Amino acid sequence: MKTCINGATIMPFSLEEDIVAAGKVGFEGIEIWTDKLKKYLTTYSVEDLKLLLKENNIEVASICPFFLRAFGEIEISLKEIEWGAKISSELNCPVLIVCPDVPPENLPYTEAVKIAGKSVRRCAEIGKNYGVKLAIEPLGMHPFVPGPKQALDIIEASESEFIRLILDTFHYYKSAISMEEIEKIPVEKLFIVHINDCESLPREKLRDANRLYPGLCVIPLIEILKILFKKQIPTVSFS
């Protein structure tokens, strides 16, 4: 299991600062925030980034987020995934994290899953060309993919071995995902876990700004971590 820091957690800082700080405090890896990467590459090259990572003894666990426009302009998603996958292959980064969009209200769930599965498979085929997997991140109270069951349904519909799942303790808490549901996640489908806490507010009022560092409030992190240690998941990211 590798410990990482997510660039979203230290959002005000640049990618260079993220990497140097992560190395100083002993993280093994970093999840690179996409916008920070784009800004970095306006001045520096991927080779410069590789050198910076090596100097600070930091690996890249993922690049995130990317957006799955299964019910919209999927061609935009395909182009973005190719851009990210190409850079990931150069950085030895194994995965791109993708966030789902929302289907039309009148579309039945089973049909929406089929469409999303087909779309994410197209994205995964691009990643496969570069040796990079995709991981779907369920989002708190998302109208389509609020938890692992829906993400796993899409993964099954995709019929692709290059698609995995993300567990984010904040999003799972907001969606009221039970310990039993977490227990049922197949370990081979689980790629990265985001560990964070949040303020004690009604779930419907929680926003990203209400996140806290691990152990500071209401999310039952110890119980979740016990389950995850048993599963021996590959990467834990503090976000």
The answer to whether residue 79 is domain-embedded is: yes
Q: Which domain holds residue 158?
A: 59-238
The answer to whether residue 96 is domain-embedded is: yes
| Whole-prediction pTM | 0.94
Report the helix count and the strand count for the chain, using DSSP H and E: 9, 10
pLDDT at 115: 98
pLDDT at 234: 64
The answer to whether residue 26 is domain-embedded is: no
As beta bridge partners, residue 197 has 212
The answer to whether residue 114 is domain-embedded is: yes
The answer to whether residue 200 is domain-embedded is: yes
| Strand positions, DSSP E, 150-234 | 163-168, 190-195, 197-198, 211-212
Whole-number Cα distances in Å, 177 to 13, 54, 152, 174: 32, 38, 14, 8
Q: How many structural domains comprise the chain? A: 1
The answer to whether residue 85 is domain-embedded is: yes
- Could you list the pLDDT tens digit for every one of the 239 residues in the chain? 789 999 999 999 999 999 999 999 999 999 999 999 999 999 999 999 999 999 999 999 999 999 999 999 999 999 999 999 999 999 999 999 999 999 999 999 999 999 999 999 999 999 999 999 999 999 999 999 999 999 999 999 999 999 999 999 999 999 999 999 999 999 899 999 999 999 999 999 999 999 999 989 999 999 999 998 887 766 667 66
CATH number at 102 reads 3.20.20.150
Whole-number Cα distances in Å, 46 to 50, 84, 87, 88, 127: 6, 12, 7, 10, 18
The answer to whether residue 11 is domain-embedded is: no
The answer to whether residue 155 is domain-embedded is: yes
Q: What is 80-135 written as a DSSP string? A: HHHHHHHHHHHHT--EEEEEE----TTS-HHHHHHHHHHHHHHHHHHHHHTT-EEE
Closest by Cα among 121, 95, 131 to 234: 95
pLDDT 10s digits, 213-228:
998 999 999 999 999 8
